[in-house]
C-alpha cells in the first residue's frame, strides 16, 4: 500500500500553484455576484494556452494524453486557491464528443473548448425533473434536418452567459423514461430561447430557460437519437475524479481556524474541542479522496468511492462553515464576512451535482449490495 500520488503528480501540483500565483484572488470557485468577470475569462484562456483544459484528452484530438489524476490535481489546487471550478465544456462535453461525436463535431467544438474560449452550461434539470432526471419533459421533435425543442430547463448555472447549452431532451415517449432521451447542443442565442434569472442564496445566478419551438440542427445531436441516457452515464464516470475537491474543505477549515484565532477564540476549550473534531473529519475527507483517486488510477469504476468522496466532502464543508455560527461569533452574521458567505453557500453542496440522499442510495445499493425491495 502507498498513500502518495507519486513524484510526477507532486511536481505538477507545484507547477499549478506557481501558475496560480499570477491570478491572485479571482474567487470564481464560488460564483459570487459579479465574480465571473474578465479575470475569470483570462484564467480560462491562460489554462487553454497551457493546454491544461485538455490534460486527459487523447493526443490525437489535441489533448495532453495524461492520466485523469492530473485533472484531479489541477482542480484540487484551483479549489484550494478558490480560483475556479472545472468547466463543464472541457470535461463532460468534450469527453462525450470525443467518445461519441462525429469528426465534423470534433472539429467544430473541440478547439474552442480546449482554448477556454467557448463556454457551455448544463441543461439537464427541469421544474419536474431533479433527482429523477429520467422524468424530464423538454421535447425535441425531428422535422427534416432540425429538431424543434419546446420546454423548460431550470437551475442552469451560468446559462445567461453560455455560448451553448448541453441539453438532455425527450425524443421518445414520456413512459420510455431514460430510453427516450437525446443529447443536443443548443446555441444559446437561437430564436425562441428566453433566459430568466433566479437568485441563489449564495448570490450566484441560476436561470430558468424557456424553449419555444427552438430549431436545432440535427448535426448538433451527439450520439444516437434516444441514446442520451447511456452517454450521460458514461460521461459522469469520466468526471468522478473532479466531482468534489477535498482541498476546498481543507482551505475552508484553515480559514476558519485563522478567523477564530484572529478573534482570540482558539484558547477557549470548547472551541478547541470542536476544531479538533473537525480536523479529524477533514482528514477523513482527504483519505476518502485518495481512495477514490486510487480506484481511478487503477481504472476501476469508481462510482462508490466517488459517491463517498462527495457525500463526506460536502457534509464536512457544511460542518466547517457552520461552526462559527454555532459558536455564536457575532461577526458570523454580517454580510461581507467570509464565514457568513461560506455558511450560505455551502447549503447547496449537498444538493447540486446529486443530493446526499442519491449518494447514500448509490453507496447502499452498489457498495453494500443492499436490495431495493424485500
Partner 1 sequence: MDFTLDSHQEAVLEAVRTLLSRHGGPARLHDLGGDEPGYDHDLDKRLAEAGFLDIAEPRSACRLDAALVLETLSGALASSAAGWRLLVLPTLDVDVEGPVALVAESHSGPARFAADADALVVIGDDRVRLVRPDRRIPRVRSRLGWPVGEVSGLPEGGVIDEAPAAEVRAWARVALATEMVGAMQFALDITVRHVSDRRQFDRAIGSFQAVQHGLAECSVAVEGARWLALEAAFTGAASTAAAALTQASEASKLIFRRTHQYHGAMGFTREYDLHLSTLRLLALRSEAESLGRPAAACAHEHWGI
Which residues are marked as active site? Answer: 239
Q: Which does residue 329 bind out of ligand FAD, partner 1, none, counting CB within 5 to 8 angstroms by kind?
A: partner 1
Question: Using the rule CB under 6 A, which residue among 26, 97, 118, 122 binds ligand FAD?
Answer: 122
Would you state the cell numbers that stand for residue 189, as one nine-digit string?
442565442
Q: Which is nearer to ligand FAD, 16 or 317 (CB)?
A: 317
In the complex, the smallest distance separating the C-beta of residue 49 from partner 1, rounded to whole angstroms, is 35
Q: How many residues of this chain interact with ligand FAD, rule: CB under 6 A?
A: 16
Q: Which is nearer to partner 1, 155 or 164 (CB)?
A: 155
Phi, psi of 120 (to 5 degrees): -110, 145
Confirm if 207 and 251 have CB atoms less than 8 A apart: no
Q: Does 345 bind ligand FAD (CB under 6 A)?
A: no
The alpha carbon dihedral of 353, 357, 361, 364 has a sign of positive
In the complex, the smallest distance separating the C-beta of residue 141 from ligand FAD, rounded to whole angstroms, is 21
What's the CA gap between 263 and 329, in Å, rounded? 9
Q: Does 365 bind ligand FAD (CB under 6 A)?
A: no
What's the CA gap between 278 and 319, in Å, rounded? 8
Question: Using the rule CB under 6 A, which residue among 351, 363, 364, 367 binds ligand FAD?
Answer: 351
Q: Which does residue 291 bind out of ligand FAD, partner 1, none, counting CB within 5 to 8 angstroms by kind?
A: none
What's the CA gap between 199 and 96, in Å, rounded? 30
What's the CA gap between 248 and 197, in Å, rounded? 27
Q: Does 69 bind ligand FAD (CB under 6 A)?
A: no
Q: Which is nearer to partner 1, 33 or 213 (CB)?
A: 33
Of the candidates 314, 292, 293, 316, the residue with the CA atom closest to the CA atom of residue 304 = 292
Q: Three-state DSSP class for 154?
A: strand
Q: Which residues pair with 122 in a beta bridge?
A: 166
> Scanning residues 138 to 157, which ones bind ligand FAD (CB under 6 A)?
155-157
Residues that bind ligand FAD (CB under 6 A): 121-125, 130-131, 155-157, 348, 351-352, 355, 357, 361
Amino acid at each position: 500500500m502507498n498513500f502518495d500520488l507519486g513524484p510526477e503528480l507532486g511536481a505538477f501540483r507545484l507547477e499549478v500553484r506557481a501558475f496560480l500565483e499570477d491570478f491572485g484572488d479571482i474567487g470564481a470557485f464560488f460564483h459570487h455576484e459579479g465574480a465571473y468577470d474578465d479575470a475569470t475569462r483570462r484564467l480560462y484562456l491562460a489554462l487553454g494556452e497551457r493546454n491544461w483544459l485538455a490534460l486527459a484528452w487523447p493526443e490525437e484530438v489535441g489533448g495532453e494524453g495524461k492520466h485523469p489524476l492530473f485533472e484531479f490535481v489541477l482542480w484540487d489546487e484551483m479549489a484550494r486557491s478558490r480560483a475556479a471550478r472545472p468547466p463543464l465544456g472541457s470535461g463532460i462535453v468534450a469527453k462525450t464528443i470525443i467518445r461519441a461525436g462525429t469528426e465534423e463535431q470534433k472539429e467544430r467544438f473541440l478547439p474552442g473548448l480546449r482554448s477556454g474560449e467557448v463556454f457551455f452550461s448544463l441543461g439537464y434539470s427541469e421544474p419536474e425533473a431533479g433527482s429523477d432526471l429520467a422524468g424530464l419533459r423538454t421535447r425535441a421533435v425531428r422535422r427534416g434536418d432540425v429538431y424543434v425543442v419546446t420546454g423548460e430547463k431550470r437551475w442552469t448555472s451560468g446559462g445567461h452567459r453560455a455560448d451553448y447549452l448541453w441539453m438532455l431532451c425527450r425524443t421518445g415517449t414520456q413512459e420510455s423514461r431514460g430510453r427516450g432521451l437525446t443529447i443536443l447542443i443548443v446555441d444559446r442565442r437561437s430564436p425562441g430561447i428566453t433566459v430568466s434569472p433566479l437568485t441563489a442564496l449564495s448570490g450566484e445566478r441560476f436561470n430558468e430557460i424557456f424553449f419555444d419551438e427552438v430549431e436545432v440542427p440535427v448535426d448538433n445531436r451527439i450520439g444516437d437519437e434516444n441514446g442520451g441516457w447511456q452517454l450521460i452515464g458514461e460521461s459522469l464516470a469520466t468526471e468522478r475524479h473532479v466531482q468534489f475537491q477535498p482541498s476546498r474543505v481543507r482551505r475552508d477549515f484553515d480559514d476558519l481556524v485563522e478567523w477564530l484565532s484572529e478573534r482570540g477564540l482558539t484558547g477557549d476549550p470548547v472551541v478547541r474541542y470542536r476544531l479538533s473534531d473537525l480536523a479529524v473529519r477533514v482528514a477523513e475527507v482527504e483519505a476518502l479522496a485518495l481512495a477514490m483517486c486510487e480506484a481511478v488510477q487503477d481504472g476501476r469504476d469508481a462510482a462508490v468511492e466517488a459517491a463517498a468522496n462527495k457525500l463526506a466532502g460536502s457534509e464536512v464543508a457544511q460542518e466547517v462553515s457552520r461552526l462559527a455560527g454555532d459558536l455564536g461569533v457575532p461577526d458570523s452574521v454580517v454580510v461581507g464576512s467570509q464565514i457568513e458567505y461560506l455558511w450560505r453557500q455551502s447549503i447547496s453542496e449537498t444538493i447540486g451535482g446529486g443530493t446526499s440522499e442519491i449518494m447514500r442510495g448509490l453507496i447502499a445499493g452498489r457498495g453494500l449490495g443492499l436490495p431495493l425491495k424485500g
